[in-house]
Amino acid sequence: MITFYPGPSKVYPQVGLYLQEAVESGLISANHRSEAFMQMLQRTILSLKTKLDVPDDYEVYFVSSATECWEIIAQSLVSASSTHIYNGAFGEKWMQYTHKITSGAKAFYFDPEAVPDLNKLDFQENEVICVTHSETSNGTFLPSSFLPELRSRTENLIAVDATSSMAGVALPWQNADVWYASVQKCFGLPAGLGVMIVSPRAVRRAEEIGENEHYNSLLFIRDNFLKFQTPYTPNTLGIYLMGKVMEQVAQIEVISENIQQRAKNWYQFLASNGYELLVKNEAVRSDTVIAVQAEKTRIAELKKAAKQDGITLGNGYGKDKETSFRIANFPAISDEEIAVLEGFLIRAASNK
């Protein structure tokens, strides 16, 4: 099957070779306090920061998932309240999860066809501002001007869910303080690993709060990663694969340019072949997750026919689950695979 599911999605084909290398190296059986593990972790972090152009003074930690990052942020960085700016299901889930832990999470919902109106926001002192860079559920995206504008208006910590962006598009790291993602999307890796990238401001805020009561408290994680260790037995294989993939891929500026051009091509192709895009406003369409809408029966027919042709389309999500499908536009997906899907969609349009 050729998969265009937006997570877990296609892994880079080289991952199979890296898996065998990992077994033969013995590293995946190494103690996570051993010199071999620490050297591997250090190399992996350096490769990630180099390829993704992460600022030198930002720190990188590996955890289990993006969902765990919700918990870490709520426990270790939210002292009183947080404002969650969202337009879709995953941004809303982040808000709901944080509210369970802190009871101070506030929602600021905006229309998926619009950009959040910052003039309507008034942040409290030390409030953490939480935004979703690319909303996987509905195929929307924050335009490049949004985070710089938000940063210019407030000194509050800004946390960004970049699960469908990181390693696929260039990110404005210095316009936010916490970035996180799971690796089963743009990283082209198997699920089971999360990446958390934090600024010096976020570290200072964590130290001011001083929360250190959980196995995944930010300070406890940081203390270990500064020694190139982990606070608990980690996903050693996932970290190893991350390092190998980061050595393999191009610089993020090159990847980002390719992904943006592919997205432009996808949107033009779909419109010219009679497919209706879920997001009408071009300015807020995602470059990495492309959403198409149609009647419920038509969506079911398309997914069934695609499966028979060896293609997995992504389901819709939330309220759009049965009336849309999503196409992953991630770096590991090849031009040849895209051509196969385009051929299928052309045939499907002619048979409508």
* Same domain assignment for residues 235 and 288: no
CB-facing half-sphere around the CA of 297: CA atoms within 13 A:
1
Low-confidence ranges of the chain (pLDDT < 50): none
Task: Determine the Cα–Cα distance for residues 3 and 338; give it in Å rounded to an integer.
Answer: 10
Task: Determine the Cα–Cα distance for residues 83 and 132; give it in Å rounded to an integer.
Answer: 12
* Cβ neighbours, 10 Å, residue 72: 25
Q: Which of 207, 228, 248 is the last residue of a domain?
A: 248
User: Coil, helix or strand for 181?
Assistant: strand
pLDDT, residue 113, reads 97
Cβ(77)–Cβ(206) below 8 Å: yes
CA 347 to chain centre: 32
Q: Which of 202, 230, 248 is the last residue of a domain?
A: 248
Question: Which residues on adjacent β-strands are paired with residue 182?
Answer: 194
Cβ(343)–Cβ(301) below 8 Å: no
* Same domain assignment for residues 239 and 255: no
pLDDT, residue 351, reads 81
CATH number at residue 323: 3.90.1150.10
Cβ(328)–Cβ(139) below 8 Å: no
* Same domain assignment for residues 191 and 241: yes
Structurally, how many domains does the chain consist of?
2
Summarize pLDDT for 125-147 with one digit per residue, the tens: 999 999 999 999 999 999 999 99
* Same domain assignment for residues 231 and 346: no
Task: Determine the Cα–Cα distance for residues 185 and 286; give it in Å rounded to an integer.
Answer: 14
Domain range for 315: 2-8+251-350
Question: Which residues on adjacent β-strands are paired with residue 59?
Answer: 198
Q: Which of 248, 274, 296 is the last residue of a domain?
A: 248
Residue 228 φ/ψ region, left for φ over 0, alpha for ψ in the -120 to 50 degree band, beta for the rest: left
CATH number at residue 55: 3.40.640.10
Amino acid residing at 311: I
